[in-house]
């Protein structure tokens, strides 16, 4: 018997043992011992032979093991893969799948819906279906394109509003820019440039509110001066709202667009800001009793903090 060979035999038997893991331990030990006995007997029988030849004649240990398993009606041994490697592979594939799924959902939710170009004040929604250009004040919704020229309709007016008689100013709009400032003299003023369907815009006086309905004007570029003590409620689709140093309660509901807030450094605000599919700058909310409530809810878009240079004292 050659003495330089136990290594090859031991490694063969170890592989056989591993491939037989589906078999009960006692039976497995019996099988491995018998194969070992066979190899040793074969070496005894023929001095000219070596362990490699005997093992070659037996065949791959996994093949031998699979015959044992087949004879027992068990599934043949799978290619060797250690337990830990199997877990790593499973974890890796599983994590990869979840990441791809997550990115897929994010891309699906955001990409086609809204694109905000800061430099050009441009908001593109639904992959360009609705395109709002803040600089020129033009709007495009589907194949409908809007702009303001010298012949644009204009809706202007002014009315003193006594906070004892009026609670709210309501401004529904679609496709528009609305800039809000506070009025120093207790009167409500409005100055709107309107698009093609500007005739549909109107001012309505209700019991305790005044409504500037721009929702059917298709496009509007408005400046509003709101007196203290009156709530302003803006409700719009596709647009940009600027709240410049607001001094009274403002509620904005906007689908698709941007709301910019320039807080008055002398005032405290109680912010309630919500975005769905979007993001917002950081605003410091005050819990003081005199804080002015600013409620902004936006779907597809964002809430930004305005720096303040744009504040026009002339108004």
Partner 1 sequence: MTLQLENWKTQIRRGYLELCILSAIRHADRLYGLELIEKLSEAGIPVKEGTLYPLLSRLTEDKLLASTWETEASKGHPRKFYSLTKSGTKILEEMRTEFDRMVATLDAFETETLRRLTPATRRN
Spatial separation of the C-alpha atoms in residues 73 and 91, rounded to whole Å: 32
In whole angstroms, what is the distance from residue 136 CA to residue 120 CA? 10
Minimum distance between the CB of residue 81 and partner 1, rounded to whole angstroms?
22
Kindly provide the b/e burial profile for residues 268-284, where b requires at least 16 CB atoms within 10 angstroms of the residue's own CB.
ebbbebebeebebeeee
The one-character DSSP state at 208 is: S
Q: How far is the CB of 75 from partner 1 (least distance, A)?
A: 15
Q: Which is nearer to partner 1, 60 or 213 (CB)?
A: 60
19 vs 178, beta carbon nearer partner 1: 19
CA dist 208 and 206 (Å) reads 6
- Give the other-Cβ count within 10 Å of 100's Cβ: 10
Name the minimum Å distance from CB 52 to partner 1: 14
Return d(Cα 141, Cα 239) in angstroms, integer.
Answer: 11
Q: Which is nearer to partner 1, 57 or 136 (CB)?
A: 57
- Output 36 or 115, the one with its CB closest to partner 1: 36
Closest CB 76 distance from partner 1, rounded Å: 11
CB of 55 to partner 1, least distance (A): 10
C-alpha dihedral sign at 122, 224, 275, 239 = negative
Question: Cα(143)–Cα(130) distance, rounded to whole angstroms?
Answer: 9
Q: How far is the CB of 59 from partner 1 (least distance, A)?
A: 4
Count Cα atoms within 13 angstroms, Cβ side, for 132.
Answer: 28
Q: Whose Cβ is closer to partner 1: residue 18's or residue 245's?
A: 18
Query: CB of 82: closest distance to partner 1 in angstroms?
Result: 24
Question: What are the angstrom distances between the C-alpha of 62 and each of 12, 22, 66, 118?
Answer: 10, 12, 6, 65
Would you say 38 or 208 has its CB closer to partner 1? Answer: 38
Residue among 57 and 156 whose Cβ is closer to partner 1: 57
Q: For the beta carbon of residue 128, count every other beta carbon within 10 angstroms.
A: 11
Binding residues for partner 1, rule: CB under 8 A, are 27, 31, 33-38, 40-42, 44-45, 57-59, 63-64, 67-68, 70-72
């Amino acid at each position: 018997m050659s003495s330089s060979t136990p290594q090859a035999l031991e490694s063969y038997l170890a592989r056989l043992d591993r491939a037989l893991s589906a078999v009960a331990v006692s039976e497995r030990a019996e099988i491995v011992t018998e194969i070992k006995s066979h190899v040793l007997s074969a070496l005894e029988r023929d001095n000219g032979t070596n362990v490699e030849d005997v093992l070659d004649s037996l065949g791959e240990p996994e093949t031998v093991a699979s015959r044992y398993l087949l004879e027992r009606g068990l599934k043949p041994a799978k290619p060797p893969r250690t337990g830990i490697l199997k877990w790593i592979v499973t974890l890796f594939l599983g994590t990869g799948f979840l990441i791809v799924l997550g990115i897929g959902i994010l891309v699906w939710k955001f990409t086609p819906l809204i694109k905000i170009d800061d430099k050009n004040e441009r908001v593109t929604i639904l992959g360009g279906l609705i395109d709002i250009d803040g600089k020129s004040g033009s709007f495009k919704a589907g194949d409908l394109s809007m702009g303001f020229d010298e012949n644009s309709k204009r809706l202007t007016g002014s009315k003193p509003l006594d906070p004892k008689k009026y609670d709210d100013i309501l401004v529904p709009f679609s496709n528009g820019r609305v800039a809000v400032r506070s009025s120093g003299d207790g009167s409500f003023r409005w100055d709107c440039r309107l698009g093609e369907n500007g005739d549909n815009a109107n001012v309505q006086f209700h019991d305790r509110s005044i409504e500037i309905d721009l929702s059917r004007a298709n496009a509007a570029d408005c400046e509003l001066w709101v007196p203290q003590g009156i709530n302003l409620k803006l409700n719009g689709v596709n647009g940009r709202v600027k709240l410049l140093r607001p001094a009274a309660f403002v509620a904005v509901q906007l689908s698709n667009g941007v709301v910019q807030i320039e807080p008055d450094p002398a005032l405290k605000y109680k912010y309630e800001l919500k975005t769905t599919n979007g993001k917002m700058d950081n605003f410091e909310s005050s819990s003081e009793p005199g804080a002015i409530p600013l409620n902004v809810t936006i779907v597809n878009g964002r809430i930004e903090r305005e720096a303040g240079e744009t504040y026009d004292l002339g108004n």
